[in-house]
Amino acid sequence: MTERKAQDCSRSQDHFNIGPSQVRWDGQAMVIDIDEVCVPLPRRIKGTVRVHPQQLFNFGVNLEPHGLHRWGPIAPSARVEVQLQHPDQSWQGHAYLDSNEGDEPIDRPFKEWDWSRSLMANGDTAVLYDLQLKNGENPVLAYRFDQQGRVHDFEPPALHSLRRTKWALSRRMRSEGPVHVKQQLEDTPFYQRAVLESVLLGENVESFHETLHTARLVSPVVQAMLPWRMPRRF
């Protein structure tokens, strides 16, 4: 996650270079070669991440009425292998890969969103996208992606408010039963990510959940703080 000049980036059909790091497709997996330096304390991060899709999807939907922001899963169910040399760490497990793209700044149409993905007992992946737009609309996307490459929509359950984060971010989750925060993974002034325990489609599930508040993201205070988390090689 390093911001770089345009001349430091290049891409083709099967690779995307960003400075010394790159993303490439080797015919079987998406391979991410990482070679970066952290901030604010300089520390090397070097290694390789491989994402092996169980099933590739060609599915996408608009997130707002004008089609300027789009989302779609590439591999909603996958296996990930992480092998780092700096620091010396490795692990593997279940993975999820999707794509968000937009033709304008993210804060123009959106106030905030709550997103989650849940691994179902049979290996399917369920995704909930709860959006709040500045025009007053609040669309909810609810899709289940099965292991045969099919997409099924479902009725989103009731909305539950969760306790605010340490940065006082409000957040919400749709569930058929009580919702509990099992682990807080990331907590920032404008974004949070956590593992939740909830009930979805009749199952007790663990969900990766994120909340984004765009007004906080574009505030001058947060913009001044971002270079301390994301290096800029300009």
- 102: pLDDT confidence band, cut at 50, 70 and 90? very high
Spatial distance between the Cα atoms of 92 and 80, rounded to a whole number of angstroms:
5
Q: Quick one: pLDDT at residue 219? A: 95
Q: Tell me if 205 is assigned to some domain.
A: yes
Q: Answer yes or no: is pLDDT of 151 > 80.
A: yes
- 232: pLDDT confidence band, cut at 50, 70 and 90? confident
Token pair belonging to 61: 């939907």
Cα→Cα distances 69→18, 126, 128, 160, 219, Å: 23, 21, 17, 26, 21
- 9: pLDDT confidence band, cut at 50, 70 and 90? very high
Of 184, 225, 180, the closest CA to residue 206 belongs to 180
Average pLDDT score over residue span 86-107: 96
Q: Tell me if 34 is assigned to some domain.
A: yes
Of 193, 220, 231, the closest CA to residue 39 belongs to 231
Chain-centroid distance of CA 141 in Å reads 15
Q: Tell me if 8 is assigned to some domain.
A: no
**How big, in percent rounded to 5, are the helix, strand and coil portions of the chain?**
5, 55, 35
For 45, the 3-state DSSP assignment is strand
Spatial distance between the Cα atoms of 57 and 77, rounded to a whole number of angstroms:
10
Spatial distance between the Cα atoms of 21 and 42, rounded to a whole number of angstroms:
17
Q: Tell me if 207 is assigned to some domain.
A: yes
Q: Quick one: pLDDT at residue 33? A: 98
Amino acid at 179: V
Q: Give the chain's domain count.
A: 1
Domain that holds residue 29: 21-233
pTM over 0.75: yes
Q: Tell me if 47 is assigned to some domain.
A: yes
Q: Tell me if 12 is assigned to some domain.
A: no
Q: Answer yes or no: is pLDDT of 20 > 90.
A: yes
Q: Quick one: pLDDT at residue 152? A: 97
Query: How high does pLDDT run on average in the chain?
Result: 95
Q: Quick one: pLDDT at residue 65? A: 94
Would you say 187 and 167 are in contact if contact means Cβ atoms under 8 Å apart?
yes
Sign of the CA dihedral with 149 first, then 72, 158, and 120 last: positive
Q: Tell me if 134 is assigned to some domain.
A: yes
Q: Tell me if 89 is assigned to some domain.
A: yes
- 41: pLDDT confidence band, cut at 50, 70 and 90? confident
Q: Answer yes or no: is pLDDT of 202 > 90.
A: yes
